Each structure stands twice: as structure tokens, then as C-alpha cells.
Amino acid sequence: MKNNVIYLAGGCFWGVQAFFDFQKGIIKTTVGYAQGDVNNPSYEEVCTGKTNHTETLKIEFDQSKISLKEILDLYFSIIDPFLLNQQGNDKGTQYRTGIYSVNNSDYILVKNYLKNFQEQASKTVVVENEMLKNFFNAEEYHQKYLDKNPNGYCHIDLSVYKK
């Protein structure tokens, strides 16, 4: 069976990756840059805000163990969906929140999820919902960064998820 794939931007990708690596049904995660205007940008280029990329996590998952809705519920537990171009102390367009789908059925599921979430909220939800335009793997030193650097900065309190 082919793995399902979804791309989530939730601020700094280090913490988003570490968080999803704790979850059941997640087969593989890869950090990278999505939705931008430059092919294969470097981290330094993305940090300028001029490439229009957002730090994004590619998630490959086993749908028999975790549904896309469950992934979205987890995602919304670690982001502030009302902050534009910011999560935690990280500010800039590269830290915007977004959900990027590779097929129409996932896109529609996300659209309905966001609609239902917005109906329950008193503020405007600013999470993007788009078809994936592009994704470029981040440099190797960013992959599993918090595993390699346990004291690295993270806007997500991962201590509550550690096994």
C-alpha cells in the first residue's frame, strides 16, 4: 500500500518534525521549503523572506493507523492558527502556517476541517490551504535537528510528548 502524504507548515520546522515523529502511524518526516518562487533555495535564502517559501514538514503516514483528520487535530494542538507569519518567537513569512495537499480529496477534507474550525473560533483562522506547489528538502543539518541538538530552540513544549 502506498503511503499517504501531507505537508504542514507550522512555524519553525524543527519542532513540528520532532512532534510528529512521536505520533503513531507516521512513517517518515522530512523538513523542507514549500510554496515558494525559487528552485531549491538555501536556508539563508528562505530566511530573507524574499523566496516566498515556508518552512514545511512533509509527513508520510499509514492511513490504517492514523487518519488525515487525526493529523490535523494534532497539528492544531501545536500551532496558533490565528497568528499571521508567526509561531512562538519566530516571525516572518517563512513561519506562516499552511496545509498543502497533493490530491483533491485531501484538499477538500482540509477545506471542510478549516471551515468547521473557523465556525467555532472568534478570531480569523489564517492557516493556508493550498495544493502543493513545490517542496525542496532542507539541508541535512536541519533533518531531525532536535534529535541532534536536544537543547535547540523550539516553540512547542516537546517535554509533554517524550516517551
| Catalytically annotated residues | 12
How many other C-beta atoms can be found within 10 angstroms of the C-beta atom of residue 120?
A: 7
Phi first, then psi, for residue 136 (nearest 5°) are -125, 130
According to DSSP, the β-strands at 26-34 and 4-10 are unpaired
Phi first, then psi, for residue 81 (nearest 5°) are -75, 0
Any alpha helices (H) in the chain, and if so which ranges?
13-21, 43-47, 68-78, 104-120, 145-148
